[in-house]
Amino acid sequence: MATALAESAGAQGLSSPNPPVGAVVLDAEGRIAGAGHTREPGGPHAEIVALAQAGPAAAGGTAVVTLEPCNHTGRTGPCSRALIDAGIAAVHYAIADPNPQAAGGAETLRAAGVAVTGGVLADEVSRGPLRPWLFRQQHGRPLITLKLAAAADGRIAAPDGTSRWITGPAAREHAHAQRARIDAIVVGTGTALADDPALTARRADGGDHPHQPARVVLGHREVPAGARLRGPGGPLIDVRSHDPHAVLAALPDALWVLVEGGPTVAGAFLAAGLVDHVQLYQAPVLLGGGAAAVDDASVTTLAQATRMRREAVTELGDDLLIDFAIERG
């Protein structure tokens, strides 16, 4: 299952709005014969990719999948039937499919005489690449991460407005790798006009990642014709509003959205209750002045502050990446 979980990372961003699933097929002797992840919508699911790699070795073997095999026919056929037809003898999955349209694969497999086990490493898998899809199934909207890159005193720019680069190369490389896994990245027109960002997902060698997120600009001002946002990269989506809910309306199929705008956009999403996860890239720098990371006019007293729960701390060179989950009553 750990191998299947690692495989599923390759589907994140690529498979949306379908779940990013990983699968491994073992032969009858317990040796890995195939592994894969879900492809783009309309392409094969993870089980089909793994079965194709395994070929005849799948007969009498075992399939290990991060999500219960689907049981419906859409743009592709049901994976439960493909596993049965391949002669798989046992299936182990982590998470039961919460989508009633696709659920029922476990029952179909059992009815065909396949041994089925659910819940394998379920907690670990639910915190992995499936997390945004599971969130959308429960809440009907994408998981929204607020990204902050700040000095140790919470400033995102010096008093003269300079901000490149507060964090170091390891933190920037990590941030670009994450862009390659999300569906959309959001900034305000202030950031778009002041910084002229490309908002692309780039590798350390300067090349582009295969998957590029949609680039969303929130606000009423026009993105200039020669802006980098109009160049190569994901599609540009102009949302002529200051309401974060309008961003969600413009992204009906997104699973994971990254808010990377300035303090005003960050504050707007927080005030709207539309931040679920915060990633703080913190640099060992003290600026002493300049813009703060968040401008939320709705908070006037400590009792109104947004409370968070720390999930993880990662060292990235001299910087720290701190992951927080928003705590809601």
> How much is the pLDDT for 205?
86
Strand partners, 65: 23, 93
Distance (Å) of CA 294 to CA 142, 263, 281:
21, 4, 14
The tokens for 237 are 């989506």
pLDDT at 182 over 80: yes
Q: Which CATH architecture has domain 2-130?
A: 3-Layer(aba) Sandwich (3.40)
The tokens for 214 are 């949609």
pLDDT per residue as tens digits for the range 211-253: 999 999 999 999 999 999 999 999 999 999 999 999 999 999 9
Strand partners, 202: 208
pLDDT at 317 over 90: yes
Work out whether the CA dihedral 12, 16, 20, 24 comes out positive or negative. negative
> How much is the pLDDT for 293?
82
Say how far apart CA 91 and CA 178 lie, in whole Å. Answer: 31
Judge whether 2-130 and 141-326 match in fold.
no
pLDDT per residue as tens digits for the range 52-111: 999 999 999 999 999 999 998 877 889 999 999 999 999 999 999 998 888 899 999 999
Q: Could you tell me whether strands 236-239 and 143-151 are parallel, antiparallel, or unpaired per DSSP bridges?
A: unpaired
Please tell me whether the peptide bond between 165 and the residue prior to it is cis, using omega within 30 degrees of 0. Answer: yes
Residue type present at position 243: D
pLDDT at 123 over 80: yes
pLDDT at 179 over 70: yes
The tokens for 35 are 């592994």
CA distance from start to end of the chain: 34
pLDDT per residue as tens digits for the range 157-169: 888 777 778 899 9
> How much is the pLDDT for 50?
98
pLDDT per residue as tens digits for the range 183-220: 999 999 999 998 899 999 998 888 899 899 999 999 99
- pLDDT category at 329 given cuts 50, 70, 90 is low
pLDDT at 328 over 90: no
Say how far apart CA 130 and CA 13 lie, in whole Å. Answer: 11
Active site residues: 47
Say how far apart CA 318 and CA 311 lie, in whole Å. Answer: 20
Rounded to the nearest integer, the mean pLDDT of the chain is 93
Instruction: Compute the radius of gyration of the chain from its Cα atoms.
Output: 22
Pick the CATH number of 141-326 from 3.40.50.9100, 3.10.450.50, 3.40.430.10, 2.30.40.10: 3.40.430.10
Q: If DSSP codes are grouped into helix, strand and coil, which group holds residue 190?
A: helix
Closest CA to 321 of 163, 129, 167: 167
pLDDT per residue as tens digits for the range 15-50: 999 999 999 999 999 999 999 999 999 999 999 999
pLDDT per residue as tens digits for the range 252-307: 999 999 999 789 999 999 999 999 999 999 999 998 888 888 888 788 888 888 89
Main-chain phi, psi angles of 303, to 5 degrees: -65, -20
Say how far apart CA 266 and CA 274 lie, in whole Å. Answer: 10
- pLDDT category at 137 given cuts 50, 70, 90 is very high
Answering whether pTM is above 0.95, one says: no
Q: Where are the alpha helices (DSSP H) in 9-147?
A: 46-54, 79-85, 105-111, 122-126, 131-139
Say how far apart CA 170 and CA 161 lie, in whole Å. Answer: 23
User: Which sequence spans correspond to the domains of the chain?
Assistant: 2-130, 141-326
pLDDT at 316 over 70: yes
